[in-house]
Structure 1
Amino acid sequence: MRYRSADEDSARWDDFPFRAGDIVISTRSKSGTTWAQMICALLVFQDPELPAPLSELSPWLDWLILPRADMYARLEAQQHRRFIKTHTPLDGLPLDPRATYLVVARHPLDLAVSLFHQSANLDRARMAALLGTPTPTGTRPTRSPHEALIAWIDRDVEPADALDSLPGVMWHLRDAWARRNDPNIVLIHYADLVNDLDGEMRRLAHRLSIDVPEQRWPTLVQAASFAHMRERAETLAPDPSGIMQSRTAFFRRGSSGAGRELLTAEEFAHYEQRAAALAPPDLLTWLHR
Structure 2
Amino acid sequence: MPDAAHRYRSADEDSARWQDFPRRPGDIVISTRSKSGTTWMQMICAVLVLRTPELPAPLTGLSPWLDWLAEPVEQVYARLAAQSHRRFIKTHTPLDGVPDDPRVHYLVVARHPLDMALSLHHQSANLDRARLAELTGQPVTPTGSRHRPSVEQSLVRWIEADPDPREELDSLPGVMWHLRDAWARRDRPNVHLVHYDDLRADLAGQMRRIAALLELEPPRPDLVEAATFEQMRSRADQLAPDAGGVLKDRRAFFRAGRSGQGSALLDEANRNRYRARAATLAPPDLLAWLHRDR
TM-score class, shorter-chain normalisation, is: over 0.9
Match of 1:172 in 2: 178
Offset of residue 161 of structure 1: 1.0
What are the equivalent positions in structure 2 for 1:62-77 lying under 5 Å apart? Answer: 62-77=67-82
Alignment partner for residue 148 of structure 1, among 138, 149, 154? 154
Offset of residue 136 of structure 1: 2.4
Q: Determine whether 1:185 maps to 2:188.
A: no
Offset of residue 134 of structure 1: 1.9
Match of 2:136 in 1: 131
Alignment partner for residue 108 of structure 1, among 113, 131, 135? 113
Measured in 1, the distance between the counterparts of 2:79 and 2:147 equals 39
Alignment partner for residue 228 of structure 1, among 223, 228, 231? 231
Q: What secondary structure sits across from 1:176 in the alignment?
A: helix
Deviations 1:124-144 (A, max 9, x none): 111111122222222343110
Q: Check conservation: 2:37, 2:109, Cα contact below 8 A.
A: yes
Measured in 2, the distance between the counterparts of 1:82 and 1:76 equals 9
Match of 2:90 in 1: 85
Q: Determine whether 1:255 maps to 2:276.
A: no
Match of 2:29 in 1: 24
Measured in 2, the distance between the counterparts of 1:118 and 1:2 equals 26
Measured in 2, the distance between the counterparts of 1:139 and 1:178 equals 44
Flag structure 2 segments of 5+ consecutive residues without an equivalent.
1-5
Measured in 1, the distance between the counterparts of 2:147 and 2:60 equals 31
Deviations 1:13-48 (A, max 9, x none): 012111011000000000000000000000001110
Q: Determine whether 1:275 maps to 2:278.
A: yes
Q: What secondary structure sits across from 1:15 in the alignment?
A: coil
For residue 236 of structure 1, what is the amino acid of its counterpart?
Answer: L
Structure 1 runs of 4+ aligned residues shifted over 6 Å read: none
Measured in 2, the distance between the counterparts of 1:279 and 1:136 equals 34
Deviations 1:165-215 (A, max 9, x none): 000000000000000010100000000000010000000000000013xxx
Match of 2:242 in 1: 239
Two-structure CA RMSD over aligned residues (Å): 0.8
Deviations 1:262-285 (A, max 9, x none): 101111001000000000000000
For residue 152 of structure 2, what is the amino acid of its counterpart?
Answer: H
Give the structure-2-normalised TM-score: 0.96
Match of 1:218 in 2: 221
Q: What secondary structure sits across from 1:181 in the alignment?
A: coil
What is the count of residue pairs matched by the alignment? 286
Deviations 1:139-170 (A, max 9, x none): 34311000000000000111011000000000
Give the structure-1-normalised TM-score: 0.98
Offset of residue 236 of structure 1: 0.3
Offset of residue 62 of structure 1: 0.1
Offset of residue 254 of structure 1: 1.3
Q: Check conservation: 2:11, 2:138, Cα contact below 8 A.
A: no
Q: What secondary structure sits across from 1:142 in the alignment?
A: coil
Measured in 1, the distance between the counterparts of 2:19 and 2:173 equals 25
Flag structure 1 segments of 5+ consecutive residues without an equivalent.
none
Measured in 2, the distance between the counterparts of 1:141 and 1:7 equals 25
Q: Determine whether 1:122 maps to 2:122.
A: no
Offset of residue 257 of structure 1: 0.7
Measured in 1, the distance between the counterparts of 2:52 and 2:83 equals 17
Match of 2:3 in 1: none
Q: What secondary structure sits across from 2:193 in the alignment?
A: strand
Match of 1:288 in 2: 291
Deviations 1:85-142 (A, max 9, x none): 0000000010111110000000000000000000000001111111222222223431
Match of 1:206 in 2: 212
For residue 147 of structure 1, what is the amino acid of its counterpart?
Answer: Q
Alignment partner for residue 53 of structure 2, among 48, 72, 81? 48
Alignment partner for residue 160 of structure 1, among 148, 154, 166? 166
Measured in 2, the distance between the counterparts of 1:51 and 1:139 equals 42
